[in-house]
A and B are shown apart, each in its own frame.
Chain A
Amino acid sequence: MNGVHDLGGMHGMGAIEPEHDEPVFHSEWEARAFALNIAAGAWRKWNIDAGRHQIELLPPADYLRMSYYEKWAVRLAELLVKHGLVTREEFESGQPARGSVKATPPLTAAQVPSLLRTGAAASRNVSIAARFQAGQRVRARNINPTGHTRLPRYARGRVGTVDRDHGVYVFPDTNAHFLGENPQHVYSVRFTARELWGDQASARDSVYVDLWDDYLEPV
């Protein structure tokens, strides 16, 4: 979707303000919001793409106003309702529905190290032909899907060169909507800064964008 999350190349977003000796979390609630997202994710009711998309669905003004972990908290609440783990009524009352059975969480403290250790590979070990090869010129398609996509607006319609083929990965545009993994090759595509931004950009510079087969067409 052409959301405000797709920030690459926008102006007016203010100064970058690195913080001295920045703590990992700035307050206890940030830490809890982070951990709740990971722990609830262990139910595997949604996937990483659906999780990202849920944040993109925030109204633009909220997206820009909210802090990072505020967005995570809202995202989690929405996902929990959408996937039936919590009802709106339970959020309203703050209490479990009467008669509801207490669940057993899939993630205990003892399981945390192995969960983080294992991670969740997005690559798929399936044999799928690559449509493009390193060195080949490609154009990022001019698509404007209303759902989730990882093709940033600034690259759409632009011509670049395949730098390398990363292999086969789950396709977020379908996976985010539970329409299948649709695995396909992902390439690092090099776009010159001038192709993206015009003559104001340095002739030497470039931006490398990781793009799936379905985002690309031959030139």
Chain B
Amino acid sequence: MSGHGHKHHEHEHQVVPSDPALRVKALESLLVEKGLVDPAALDALIDTYENKVGPRNGARVVARAWTDAAYKRRLMEDATAAIAELGYGGRQGEHMVVVENTPAVHNLVVCTLCSCYPWSVLGLPPAWYKSQAYRSRAVIDPRGVLREFGVELSEDVEVRVWDSTAELRYLVLPERPDGTENLGEDELAALVTRDAMVGAGKVAASSRATADKVSR
């Protein structure tokens, strides 16, 4: 599309405050005045992604797959349906694909064109996932990126990078760490980090070791 509103954009800079906080405040009050949005709906949307939908959902999916072979088969076959069995789905999780890490294969998920991310199982993406640095480098230098996340892969491990260019959303099924044979599903879920489900990390056996990373 040509003639795309460059002028409009600059014009808008003049009329809307350049400070983003003021800009958004002005935008909200105008839209509420006009009846275009309901502020209570905004509160409910924010509450959903701050408190209800986040990486704990994905961690439950991973823990179930680690402990239930039949579930794992369904998950690899039709991830959307298997994830829905645990009650997760909807916006930005409509079309899910799960890719499995093994000793021979490491998967890493990116969206080079914007910041597509599986909201229904991981919540909203962290800043690093949306950064120009990650989006540019993940496809050309995945091993270097992984090294910065503390994941050192030997040359005989195959790296598969998944660029989310369409509406498919990818969740990495990390390797179950050794030494967790006696743990139940809840305990396992507590070990699973967000980064591991993007492929930018591995799951460690001790929650103490990963405590720092749980929120990542």
Residues in chain A within 8 A of chain B (CB atoms): 1, 5-11, 13-22, 24-29, 31-36, 38-40, 43, 52-53, 55, 57-59, 62, 64, 67-70, 73-74, 76-78, 80-82, 85-86, 88, 90-92, 94-96, 100, 102-105, 107-109, 111-113, 115-123, 146-148, 150-152, 154, 166, 169-170, 177, 186, 188, 193, 196-197, 201-202, 204-212
Contact = CB atoms under 8 A, between A and B. Distances in A.
Interface stretch (B58-66, B85-93, B182-190): B85-93
Interface in B89-107: 89-95, 97
Contacts of B25: 29, 32
B166 interface: yes
Interface of B: 1-2, 4-6, 8-9, 11-12, 15-16, 20-21, 23-31, 33-38, 40-46, 48-50, 53-54, 89-95, 97, 110, 112-115, 120, 123-124, 126-128, 130-140, 142-143, 145, 148-149, 155-168, 195, 212, 215-216
A103 B35 CA distance: 4
Contact of B136 (A8, A20, A151): A8
B41 A34 contact: no
A152 to B, nearest CB: 6
Contact of B132 (A14, A77, A210): A14
A73 B156 contact: no
Contacts, number: 313
Contact of B215 (A5, A21, A88): A21
A195 to B, nearest CB: 12
26 contacts: A7-B112, A15-B148, A16-B131, A16-B148, A19-B126, A24-B49, A24-B123, A28-B21, A31-B50, A35-B45, A36-B27, A53-B1, A59-B6, A73-B23, A86-B34, A88-B11, A91-B16, A95-B33, A102-B33, A102-B34, A105-B35, A105-B36, A112-B44, A116-B53, A150-B113, A209-B165
Given A77-B27, A150-B166, 20 more contacts: A1-B1, A8-B136, A15-B133, A18-B128, A19-B216, A32-B42, A57-B5, A70-B23, A73-B27, A85-B36, A102-B33, A107-B37, A119-B90, A154-B112, A188-B97, A188-B168, A197-B140, A206-B159, A210-B166, A212-B166
Contacts of B45: 34-35, 38-39, 112, 116
A25 B148 CA distance: 24
B89 A119 contact: yes
Contact of A52 (B114, B127, B158): B114
A104 to B, nearest CB: 6
A212 B168 CA distance: 12
Contacts of A39: 37-38, 41-42, 45
Contacts of A76: 27
Contact of B44 (A104, A109, A154): A109
Nearest to A85: B36
A210 B35 contact: no
B123 A78 contact: no
Contacts of A70: 20, 23
A25 B89 contact: no
